[in-house]
Structure 1
Amino acid sequence: MKPVLELVNIEKYYGGKSSVTKAIDDISFSVVNGEFIGVMGPSGSGKTTLLNVIATIDQVSAGHIYIDGQDITEMRSKEIAAFRRKNLGFVFQDFNLLDTLTIQENIALALTINNYEPSLINEMVLKIAIKLGIDELLNKYPYEVSGGQKQRVACARAVVTTPKLILADEPTGALDSKSAQMLLETISDLNKTLETTILMVTHDAFAASYCKRILFIKDGTMFTEMIKGDQTRKQFFNQILDTIALLGGDVGGVR
Structure 2
Amino acid sequence: MPKPGRRRQPASSPPALYAGLLLLTAWLGAVLALPPARAHDPAPPADALVHQGKPGPWGELEYSRIMIEPPDEFMPPDYTASAARWEFTGFDPVRLEDLLRNAALDATQLQGLLDPAIRTTTPTSLILRPPDDLVLHLSPESRAILYNTLARLPGNPLHQEPFRFRADLIDDWFEGSGVRTEIVTRIRQLLYRRGNSLLFSDPHLVLPALATATERVQLVKTLARKSTLLLKVRIKPDSDLESLARYWGGGRRRKDVRPLLLSLARHPGA
TM-score normalised to the size of structure 1? 0.22
Question: As a proportion of its length, which structure holds more strand?
Answer: 1
Q: Greater Rg, structure 1 or structure 2?
A: 2
TM-score normalised to the size of structure 2? 0.21
